[in-house]
Amino acid sequence: MSTSPAAAAPDRRAAPWWRRWADTPGTAVAVLTAGFLGMAEVAFGVPSGPDVAPTYALLGLLLMLVAVAAGAALIWRRRLPVPVCLGTAAAAVLLPVGALAPLIALPWVLATAGRRTAAWCTAATGAAVVAAMARDWRREGDAVMWAAENAGGERTYLTGAGYVGFGAGVLAVAVVVGLVRRFRAAARSARRAADESERQAATLRAQAADLRTELTRQEERELIAREMHDTVAHQLSLVSLHAAALEVAADDPGTDVPEAARSMRSSAHRALDEMRTLISSLRTVGADSAERYGGPAPRLADLVTLLDEARHAGVDIGATVFVDGGDDAPPALTRGVYRVVQESLTNAMKHAPGVRVDVDLRARPGDGVDVVVSNPLVADVSATAGGAGLVGMGERAAALGGRFDAGPDDGRFVVRVHLPWPAPVPAPVSP
């Protein structure tokens, strides 16, 4: 991630008050030092004394004011580093007012400006240092500023190489300080960006967790609706068939009314038991949802009871059932097969009453389970093609990795379901 120099620039106005007060002594020291050295260079570079013409005195006074102004400009070195650096560097090149002010402003330029601007400011500061060193090197005697005097009164002067080394050294120090400031500002900006990214990631993780929770709740609601539809609707359909038969044959002396009433009561009680089982399962916490909502899984052998109940309710059923190893079938598979047959019979009783329903079921480990339930079309079934029962059967087949298909086929409404049933893995033979 790249960070623009302007974005990495420290904003002093945004700093706490104690930081701003702590920076004030540094600004005062920079202003006073640059102003003092600037006036010192003016004093060494402009002739003075009683024999000097007033013109030189006036020139010296003006240069002193320029040196003070260059030092005072450092007050704005943080907010306007480039103008301060270029302005004081130009003054140092044209006038003998010293090069300390641009040297102090240069690190702030390097810390905040772009590469091209930083290069130009570095070149301008270097020119100011060269001009200041060259002026002092051309002076003679007491006019030389960078000289040392021993106890005997003898003065020692820098050589040309000494001036070059001294100028290069102070410029290198300014550049290094500026680069350190730049890298620290970039590091702070990177840390802020990383913190912001972490906050955004935490927000996204929380939103994802909420979405997962909502999806889980939606899946559970759909599972509840499917189980309610499959378990209770079938029993209520049987009750409806018994009631219709009782209503038609109530006046027939040959009709066993008490037996029909008992069948209705039995179907109603089974519906209530299924309802209580579902409600009790929903109150169970910590178990798998598919097992919780369905109660005890029915066996493949229970299909015989299911078909007998439908026949007893008056449904004409032709059943062909071949099951091999049904006692070892997984509970999820047996539940799915039972619900598919149950829902298919319920749909036939509801949408095609009085017609023959053919049930063909073949189940074997390794080959899987194939269920085909069909009945003649007696009305337009387009309205039921997308019903909750068919949707539930399709969802069950998909959850078990199987296939589901339902619809009109050559004058019949056919439901076809294939569910995988893996062959058992043989136990290893001990030597």
Strand partners, 155: 149
Give the residue, 228 or 124, on which the prediction is more confident: 124
Judge whether 321 lies within some domain.
yes
- Better-scored residue on pLDDT, 345 or 54: 345
Residue partners of 365: CB distance under 8 A and separation at least 6: 324, 325, 328, 329, 421, 422, 423, 424
- Say what the pLDDT of residue 286 is: 45
Domain-located, residue 190: no
> Average pLDDT, stretch 166-183?
90
Tell me, what's the pLDDT at 417? 94
Residue ranges making up the domain that contains 33: 5-140
Instruction: Flag whether 245 is in a domain.
Output: no
In this predicted model, what pLDDT tens digit does every residue of 306-333 receive, in sequence order?
A: 888 888 777 888 888 898 888 888 888 8
| Distance, CA of 223 to CA of 220 (rounded, Å) | 5
**pLDDT score of 163:** 84
Beta-sheet strands, E only, within 32-73: none
pTM here? Answer: 0.46
Are 273 and 231 contacting, i.e. CB atoms less than 8 angstroms apart?
A: no
Give the bridge partners for 363, in sequence order: 323, 369
As given in the structure block, the two tokens for residue 107 are 């690190």
Among 49-58, 199-208, 259-268, the range with the most confident prediction by mean pLDDT is: 199-208
In a domain, residue 195? The reply is: no
121 falls within a domain: yes
- CATH number assigned to the domain comprising residue 370: 3.30.565.10
pLDDT, one tens digit per residue, over 252-308 is: 555 555 666 666 666 666 666 666 566 555 545 444 444 444 456 688 888 888 888
* The pLDDT of residue 405: 92
Classify residue 373 by its DSSP letter.
E
- Domain-located, residue 160: no
- pLDDT, residue 48, reads 63
Domain boundary among 108, 140, 172: 140
Decide which of 140, 170, 205 is a domain's last residue: 140
Provide the number of structural domains found in the chain. Answer: 2
Q: How far apart are CA 382 and CA 408, in angstroms?
A: 9
Confirm whether 290 is domain-assigned. no
Residue that finishes a domain, picked among 107, 140, 173:
140
- Indicate whether 258 belongs to any domain: no
pLDDT at 28: 85
What does the mean pLDDT of the chain come to?
77
